[in-house]
């Protein structure tokens, strides 16, 4: 039986696995795609290296650390996590593993626009993470798609940098909230309530125009970038029967990154604590591993981990 099994090889899972390695624990990292969502860059026309929040290099370094011990790395898709007699059984498509503690770092997927050229435009002006790239939008015309709380928070941040923001709200969402009402009257924000994005047009592979419509009214909006923020879909199918998830399916954690089941921890975009940036995922993964180590330590000392007090 392993000490810790980490599910997910993005920055949260990599940080957790490397932390456990450094503590000389018997750790295994299982993932379907090593590196997770760390391979994206964003190019904005006329901006060679737009300022982005750091983290890619740190994630790359963590990846090299784990690749240096290939016996600790497994490529598989986890389909279930079960508890039985104070051990955890992790069911992959190819085999089953057993561990004393588990760290779930399987992340979430952004809801996509569903336009034909969407994948080609990602990183060429189309993005899903406003906090990462907002500061690169200085003086630009930008589109935001979505009216949930996250999209509105992102729009608020964009008012600090962008020249104009076209806020496309297919549904009312949180527009009636205090923030929503403030944004609706903000001089930089043009609200398109009830509109849908029909297309995003590119010139030389770079986003240039957003085409939106409401019934038969079609509008063409010139933009340098489009941020799609219509919500995240958590990858939690494999644990929904085992740990508590919130109404959107995100794993509920406490301040120690512990889930509703002692011994199962979670970190990164899969949790109900908003993260969505590489640096934060690295911090969360490290913290989950630290508390997973406490859990194992307490068991070795035949104590409860609540016996470990930090203040």
Ligand X SMILES: Cc1cc2nc3c(=O)[nH]c(=O)nc-3n(C[C@H](O)[C@H](O)[C@H](O)COP(=O)(O)OP(=O)(O)OC[C@H]3O[C@@H](n4cnc5c(N)ncnc54)[C@H](O)[C@@H]3O)c2cc1C
Q: How far is the CB of 245 from ligand X (least distance, A)?
A: 14
Sheet of 196-203, strands arranged across: 196-203, 206-214, 217-222
**246-275 positions binding ligand X, by CB under 6 A:** 268-270, 275
Using the minimum distance from each CB to ligand X, give the nearer residue, 273 or 296. Answer: 273
Contacts with ligand X, 69-88, as mask; x by CB under 6 A: --------xx----------
Helix (H, G, I), strand (E, B) or coil at 210: strand
Pick the binder of ligand X from 2, 99, 127, 154 (CB under 6 A): 127
Kindly state whether residue 112 participates in binding ligand X, applying the rule CB under 6 A: no
DSSP character at residue 135:
G
Pick the binder of ligand X from 5, 6, 11, 121 (CB under 6 A): 11
The site for ligand X, by CB under 6 A, has a size of: 40
Kindly state whether residue 90 participates in binding ligand X, applying the rule CB under 6 A: no
Kindly state whether residue 173 participates in binding ligand X, applying the rule CB under 6 A: no
Smallest Cα–Cα separation from 197: which of 169, 233, 160? Answer: 169
Residue 291 has which token pair?
Answer: 């508390």
Helix (H, G, I), strand (E, B) or coil at 163: coil
Using the minimum distance from each CB to ligand X, give the nearer residue, 72 or 305. Answer: 72
Using the minimum distance from each CB to ligand X, give the nearer residue, 3 or 284. Answer: 284
Distance CA 133, CA 126 (A): 11
The number of helix segments (H) and strand segments (E) in the chain equals 7, 17
Instruction: Report the chain's C-alpha Rg in angstroms.
Output: 21
Residue 199 has which token pair?
Answer: 């297309």
Using the minimum distance from each CB to ligand X, give the nearer residue, 8 or 180. Answer: 8
Distance CA 123, CA 126 (A): 6
Stretch that binds ligand X, among 47-55, 151-159, 206-214, 289-297 (CB under 6 A): 47-55
Using the minimum distance from each CB to ligand X, give the nearer residue, 158 or 191. Answer: 158
Kindly state whether residue 8 participates in binding ligand X, applying the rule CB under 6 A: yes
Distance CA 162, CA 139 (A): 5
Tokens 């969505």 belong to residue: 276
Kindly state whether residue 55 participates in binding ligand X, applying the rule CB under 6 A: yes
Of the chain, the end-to-end C-alpha distance in Å amounts to 33
Kindly state whether residue 132 participates in binding ligand X, applying the rule CB under 6 A: yes
**Interacting residues with ligand X (CB under 6 A):** 7-13, 30-33, 36-38, 40, 52-53, 55, 77-78, 105-107, 110, 122, 127-129, 132, 235, 238, 268-270, 275-279, 281
């Amino acid at each position: 039986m392993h000490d810790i099994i980490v599910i997910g090889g993005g920055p949260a899972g990599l940080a957790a696995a490397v932390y456990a390695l450094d503590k000389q624990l018997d750790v295994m990292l299982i993932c379907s795609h090593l590196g997770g969502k760390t391979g994206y860059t964003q190019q904005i026309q006329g901006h060679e290296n737009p300022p982005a929040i750091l983290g890619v290099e740190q994630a790359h370094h963590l990846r090299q650390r784990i690749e240096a011990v290939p016996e600790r790395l497994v490529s598989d898709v986890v389909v279930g996590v079960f508890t039985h007699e104070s051990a955890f059984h992790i069911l992959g498509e190819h085999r089953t593993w057993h561990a004393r503690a588990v760290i779930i770092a399987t992340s979430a997927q952004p809801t996509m626009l569903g336009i034909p050229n969407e994948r080609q435009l990602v990183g060429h002006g189309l993005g899903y993470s406003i906090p990462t790239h907002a500061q690169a939008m200085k003086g630009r015309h930008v589109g935001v798609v979505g009216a949930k709380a996250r999209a509105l928070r992102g729009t608020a941040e964009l008012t600090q940098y962008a020249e104009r923001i076209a806020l496309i709200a297919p549904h009312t969402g949180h527009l009636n909230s205090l923030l929503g009402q403030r944004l609706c009257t903000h001089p930089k924000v043009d609200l398109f309530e009830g509109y849908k994005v029909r297309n995003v047009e590119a010139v030389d592979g770079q986003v240039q125009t957003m085409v939106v419509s409401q019934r038969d009214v079609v509008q063409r909006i010139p933009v340098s970038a489009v941020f799609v923020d219509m919500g995240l879909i958590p990858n939690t199918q494999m644990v929904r029967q085992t740990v508590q998830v919130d109404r959107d399916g995100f794993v509920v954690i406490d301040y120690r990154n512990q889930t509703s089941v002692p011994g199962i921890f979670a970190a990164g975009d899969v949790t109900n604590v908003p993260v969505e940036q590489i640096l934060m995922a690295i911090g969360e993964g490290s913290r989950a591993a630290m508390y997973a180590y406490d859990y194992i330590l307490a068991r070795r000392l035949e104590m409860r981990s609540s016996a470990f007090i930090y203040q």
